[in-house]
Structures are given as C-alpha cells and as structure tokens.
Amino acid sequence: MCGRYTARFTETTLLPGELADVVSAFPPRYNIAPQQTAPVIRMKEGVPVFEALRWGFRPSWMKDPNQAQINARAETLFAKPMFGQAARNRRCLVLASGWYEWQHKTTGKQPFFFHFRDDRLFAMAGIWTPWHTEGAESQDRDSYAIITAAANPFAAPIHRRMPVILGAEACAVWLDASDADSVRLASLLAPHAYDDLDAYPVSTYVNSPQHDGRKCLEPLTH
C-alpha cells in the first residue's frame, strides 16, 4: 500500500510544461497522511489544473469517513464498483517526491523512505470522486485514492505493494479524460522499474501524522 508520502516541488521534469510554474510555488510536505489535503493534477474543461484534494476516496454515498479508501489496487481497479467509474472518467496525477513503507520486524514496524536517486518529483496514478453534503452546512469536497501495484523486486523485501509511478507519456494518457479504454489504461499500471530507486530506514518520528518536516526524512543512524 501507500500510506504516507512526501511532495517537495523542486523538480517538474515529468509534468506537463504548462504546470511547472504552478507546482513550484506549493510549500513542501514531508509526511502527507490520509484525510489530509494534498495537491493533484486533474482535467477540468479540457485543461489540466493543479489543486488540493482530500486523500481518502469517499464517494457521496459513503456516510462514514473512516471507510474512505486511500489506495485502489491496479489489478481490480476497473472491475470494482467503487472505483470503476472514476477509473474510466475521473483520473488524476498525485504529485510526490517519495513515499514511506513499513517493514514488519520482530521488534516492531520499521519505516523506510523510498525515492528516486536524483530526488526528482514524480506522478503517481490516482482517481478522484466528488463528495457533497446537504443541509445548513453543505459542502463539496473532492477526494482521491492512489493506485498501487505489486511491489517490484527492489521494494518487495520492505512491502508487497507500491504506488504506480507514471512516466511522462503515461501521465498524458492517464490525464486524457476522453480516453475510457480500460484495457489501454490498465496497461499503464505496472510496477516501476527499480534501477533508479533508492530506500533507507528512517525514525519512527514519521509515524505521527502531526509531524511534517525535514526530520521525517533523516536516515536512521542507530
């Protein structure tokens, strides 16, 4: 799964050129947690827009916010009633510069930080859904989930799942709202090759969603 990630907007090489100036102005995040808002790119009226949505896929019919799904499995994405329509019509790019996974050990869970060796910004495949409440305090709050796939050989010793990372060409296809070909779209959701990834253990300081600073990324020294 992908349960925490970072987003430091210093590199935009994998993103559409017209979005580069927008994302560079967003403040860095070092520990994005479920139910928090974070930036995504999605299409609106044929134009890619950059905006913050709530992490935790919560359709309008879902009354209990605790049931919101932070991840959706690539293998069943288009077949699941909860995710199928969004996968065909409401796709987004979730911007990140790394993600955390926890390895089970006899002494407890050890967090690891995964990132590209050059620390570049990248895009994870996502889907989003609208959510609306009625009444005196009615509000609209769109939410998203990150697509995950089976871990590649590099990540597998730490965790059996990993987020789907999209290359530049795949980003354009995934964002294209006019393309609803589930077979072609599903073919994009493969685990990323691992020759340019790195990972290292970090302190359990990152376990708290209240912590959001560079200390979350510091390598564990003991």
Query: Is the pLDDT at 140 greater than 80, yes or no?
Result: no
The residues, any chain, with a CB within 8 Å of residue 176's CB and separated by 6 or more, are 43
pLDDT tens digits for 81-122? Answer: 999 999 999 999 999 999 999 999 888 899 999 999 988 889
Nearest CA among 120, 57, 115 for reference residue 87 = 57
Nearest CA among 62, 54, 55, 52 for reference residue 133 = 62
Which class does domain 4-217 fall in? Answer: alpha beta
pTM value > 0.85: yes
Name the residue with tokens 């102005």. Answer: 25
b/e per residue, 96-117, with b = 16+ CB within 10 A? bbbbbbbeeeeeeebbbbbbbe
Give domain limits for the chain. 4-217
d(CA 158, CA 32): 20
Share of the chain above pLDDT 70, in %: 88
Looking at mean pLDDT, say which of 8-22, 82-96, 133-147 comes out highest.
Answer: 82-96
Question: What are the tokens at 123?
Answer: 């895009």
- SS3 label, residue 21: helix
Catalytic residue numbers?
2, 101
